[in-house]
Structure 1
Amino acid sequence: MVGRLLVEETRQVGGTVAARGGPLAPPAVRIVRGLLVQRIVKDQLRSWGLLPRLLRITRSGGGGGAHTSRVRRRSPTRCRPALLGSTRVCGVRSLALCCAGRMTQPPFADQPATPSDPSRPVRPLVARRRDEEHRAATPLELFFDLCFVVAIAQAGAQLVHALAEDHVGDGVLSYLTVFFAIWWAWMNFTWFASAYDNDDALYRVVTLVQIAGVLILAAGVTRAFEDHDFLVVWLGYVVMRIALTSQWLRAARDASGAERTMALRYAGGVILCQFGWSAVVFAPESARGWIFLVMVIAEMCVPAYAERDFHTNWHPRHIAERYGLFTIIVLGETIAAATVAVKSGLDENDALGDLLPIAAGGLLIVFAAWWIYFVVPAHDRLASSKEGFLWGYGHYGIFASAAAIGAGIEVAVEQAVGSAHISTTAASAAVTVPSALFMVLVWALHARYFKVGIAQQLILPVTGAVILACTFAGEFSVLAAGLVSAAAVAVGVTLTARSADRA
């Protein structure tokens, strides 16, 4: 639609220019010659289906005959490709005038550059459009996620050690505490990036500083588990929070009105909460648990307070993709940890018969977890900020349980080869409990909204209950849980197909 308007407006402007004694060459030639040298414009014209037509105009000279040679080629910088990526599409005539040589400055020159425009190393950090098309995760975001895997792997390894030594209560509590710190730091970055990522040099540098903070946090996970010493974790948070606060202040500088107030509230809330976390580090150990609970509530209230009058322009599809990618990364870490555990067990004990059921069952559980999570379009549930926050907060349990599945498989392997000082039932529970929790949470957060009929609705809750019952199946507990998970996927696919046929 916009492409056709551009061509028609160009023709009209060209007629006006010719009537006033302008160049005799068709203005379409000047449009194409000025724009097609820019790759982003060529891609845009291709998406409109106009590229072949305009290329023919260029090759034929637009029917200008001998007069075509009189056209003086203008620099492509006279019409910047950022114009076609602007949020305003009503200035087609101005764009045509610019390309026809009747304007010395491009229209919308005061508009900020698009996030992908590398022309300036530092650009205004303004909100992106919520309805932006083709929004996808950036390489920097993927790099950020991969660095978080280091911290998740450390937390999982410490959980394995605690469970294998039969320190269940202390190990689970420490795991949930540390995982909250990891998950919340990831949450803060992800939602901010969805709304304000402009991918300029300054944004990249600040994000890399946040990654450094993540690695510092990961280095302190062992001390947090073993000695309840959160100093290094806190230092990592200080680095991440300073970087995040600077991003919000930068967004506030380029905003106005309610949006500026919102950004300042975020910056102030982040800093105040970071001071609050200092009490967890320096307070007596007996009071740390209560202080931690208070700070968790305070942290989760900051977004609700900051966005009371203005909501950030996070992108539903982008958020769903970011959460999906992080789920894949966590499940991948689960497979990696389980594979290493099985390999070590085989190398040290040559117990293939004991480890094969655990390996097969664990693999089936992870495969089923991936299938169940991605079988429904999660972004369709993110229609409002309230739904988005509830969905995002609920993923704490999904991520934590997904990572704990891998730790549980490691514990089951250690118990099978005699390295863990726990019973078979306890080792089985290390796998079945997080697996059942994952199934139920995925159903509660978004799967249930896409199920039709009572049979489809009951698949995941019933699967979770049966997986828990598999805890008491002895040395075949993990294999039984894996078979139940695979059966749940098969039943779900069958019922969905039947429902589609009836529709």
Structure 2
Amino acid sequence: MARMRARGRSESHRAATPLELFFDLCFVVAVAQAGRQLVHALAEGHPGHGITGYLMLFFAVFWAWMNFTWFSSAYDTDDALYRVVTLVQIAGVLILAAGVPRAFDGDFAVVWFGYLVMRLAMVSQWLRAARNSTGRERTTALRYAAGVTLCQVGWLVLLLSPDAARPWVFVALAVAEMAVPTLAERDHQTSWHPHHIAERYGLFVIIVLGETVSAATVAVQSAVDEQDALGDLLPIAAGGLLLIFAAYWIYFAVPIHLHLVSNRQAFVWGYGHYLVLGSAAAIGAGIEVAVEESVGKAHLSVFAASATVTVPGALFLFTVWLIHSRHQKRNLAQQLVLPVSSVLVLACTFAGHAAVLLAGMVGAVTVAVGATLTARQGQALES
């Protein structure tokens, strides 16, 4: 046991812990469940139902992950009690993941209960931080505990709402959730660590991209085993892999921790990762749908199947530029690379069965152009 005191933002050699990595890996189970349900809905020709359910459930997963990530950056004691409470949160994540298929059918009870387990653990962490703090720091911790509790009670409204009203109730509650950190920290900022936060988000991006590769691999393997259609699937596999590789390269091309100097900048960057991570996971779901369409198992057109890959691919490129990469770009040419590439990836939707391969090639060219412009800038600075 140790006193839960705030850690310093200038602390040296601050890195993600094995417990945090374990926490992230368990969260990806829920991400995979949401992606699998999205694939089923899209392949059956129900895009509205699938996309709405995916956006709602991915937010639930992302927000729970984000709550713990920022708390641990400021208050990680790594003692016995902290570890046990974190493991309880992981148990809540697994309950949530088990409830994802039911939630896509309109039954959010299991997901809400999983969230309740996570939130009870999270509130206990904030109360522990308040007990070992004084003044404004204590007030901030108590505000977090109260805000999280009220929002969790508020999610009961979603359970009791009719199906038609649920998306609107969800949006209102999501806004309330996102307001909690701003209100809690208006007088005192928690001591989250910029380098640690950047590393935590980066690790989660890697894990989500890894899950995307895994899902796409299983889809291709199943299609080959059942249909013996390797010639049709190779372009999808190659294009999807290129797009995922490009996503990795582009995200990690710049060091972002230097940009995270205030709550305003850090929160906008952190919240924006809902789209970054959601689109990264959706790329894998799209590749699965494209595979199913190519072997005649999906009830949608070639254009629609192509869009399931190109739309999240374009969204990933544009969102990474908007909240992440543009802060390190030094001239107009560098600033234009990702926005233009996102438009080109979107245009690949009209390429029929070659859409995924062309989108992957656009991603590869984007990396090459970006690396070339960066090298030229470095040479110009040296001269």
TM-score normalised to structure 2 length: 0.99
SS at match of 2:200: helix
Instruction: Tell me by how many angstroms 1:381 deviates.
Output: 1.2
Of the two, which has the highest radius of gyration? 1
Separation in 2, partners of 1:283, 1:192: 31
Matching of residue 477 in structure 1 with residue 345 in structure 2: no
Unaligned residue ranges in structure 1 (runs of 5+): 1-121
Q: Which moved more, 1:308-317 or 1:452-461?
A: 452-461
Q: Indicate whether 1:414 and 2:289 are aligned.
A: no
Aligned to 1:493: 371
Alpha-carbon separation, structure 1, partners of 2:162 and 2:362: 46
Amino acid at match of 1:499: Q
Deviation of 1:183 (Å): 0.2
1:233 & 1:268 partners in 2: Cα distance?
21
Question: How many angstroms does 1:273 deviate by?
Answer: 0.5
Q: CA deviation digits over 1:325-369, x for unaligned, max 9?
A: 000000000000000000001000010110000000000000000
Structure 1 equivalent of residue 87 of structure 2: 208
**Correspondence list, 1:18-417, <5 A:** 122-225=1-104, 227-417=105-295
How far apart are residue 450 of structure 1 and its match?
1.1
Determine the structure 1 residue equivalent to 2:309. 431
| Whole-angstrom CA distance in 2 between matches of 1:449 and 1:243 | 36
RMSD over aligned Cα atoms: 0.6
Instruction: Note the 1:3-18 alignment, pairs <5 A.
Output: none
1:81 paired residue number: none
**Matches of 1:288 and 1:165 in 2, distance apart?**
22
Task: Give 3-state SS (helix, strand or coil) of 2:361's partner.
Answer: helix
Task: State how far apart, in whole Å, the 2-side matches of 1:293 and 1:357 are.
Answer: 38
Counterpart residue type for residue 29 of structure 2: V
**SS of structure 2 residue aligned to 1:266:** helix
Structure 2 CA distance, aligned partners of 1:139 and 1:252? 25
Q: Which residue of the partner structure matches residue 94 of structure 1?
A: none
Give the C-alpha shift of residue 285 in structure 1. Answer: 2.4
Q: Number of paired residues?
A: 381
Matches of 1:412 and 1:399, distance apart in 2: 20
Code of the residue aligned with 2:307 in structure 1: it is A
Q: Give the whole-Å Cα distance in 2 for the aligned partners of 1:390 and 1:435.
A: 21
CA distance in 1, matches of 2:151, 2:26: 24
Deviation string, structure 1 residues 184-218 (Cα, Å, up to 9, x no partner): 00000000000000000000000000000000000
In the aligned structure 2, how far is the partner of 1:446 from the partner of 1:361?
Answer: 24
- Following the alignment from structure 2 to structure 1, what is the Cα–Cα distance between the partners of residues 70 and 43? 36
Q: Distance in 1 between matches of 2:236 and 2:257?
A: 34
Partner SS, residue 270 of structure 1: helix
Distance 1:469 1:144 in 2: 38
* In 2, Cα distance between equivalents of 1:470 and 1:294: 35
Residue 143 of structure 1 aligns with an amino acid whose one-letter code is F
One-letter identity of the residue aligned with 2:8 = R
Deviations 1:154-186 (A, max 9, x none): 000000000001100110000000000000000
Select between 200-209 and 448-457 the one with higher mean Cα deviation: 448-457
Moved over 4 A (4+): none
Answer yes or no: is 1:461 the counterpart of 2:324. Answer: no
Whichever residue aligns with residue 50 of structure 2, its letter is: G
**TM superposition score normalised by structure 1:** 0.75
Q: 3-state DSSP class of the match of 2:31?
A: helix
State the alpha-carbon separation in 2 of the partners of residues 502 and 196 from structure 1. Answer: 43
Inter-partner Cα distance in structure 1 for 2:56 and 2:166: 11
User: What is the CA distance between 1:497 and its match in structure 2?
Assistant: 0.6
Q: Where does structure 2 lack aligned partners over 5 or more consecutive residues?
A: none
Paired AA for residue 495 in structure 1: L
* Alignment deviations for residues 390-421 of structure 1 (CA, whole Å, 9 cap, x no partner): 00000000000000000000000000011001
2:149 & 2:26 partners in 1: Cα distance? 24
Relative contact order higher in (CA < 8 Å, ≥ 6 apart): 2
Moved more, 287-296 or 211-220: 287-296
Amino acid at match of 1:324: G
Identity %: 68
Tell me which residue corresponds to 1:442.
320
Q: Whole-Å Cα distance in 1 between the matches of residues 163 and 241 of structure 2?
A: 40
Rounded to whole Å, the distance in 2 between the matches of 1:287 and 1:418 is 35
Corresponding residue of 1:40: none
The alpha carbon displacement at 1:449 in A equals: 1.3
- Give the residue type in structure 1 aligned to 2:219: A
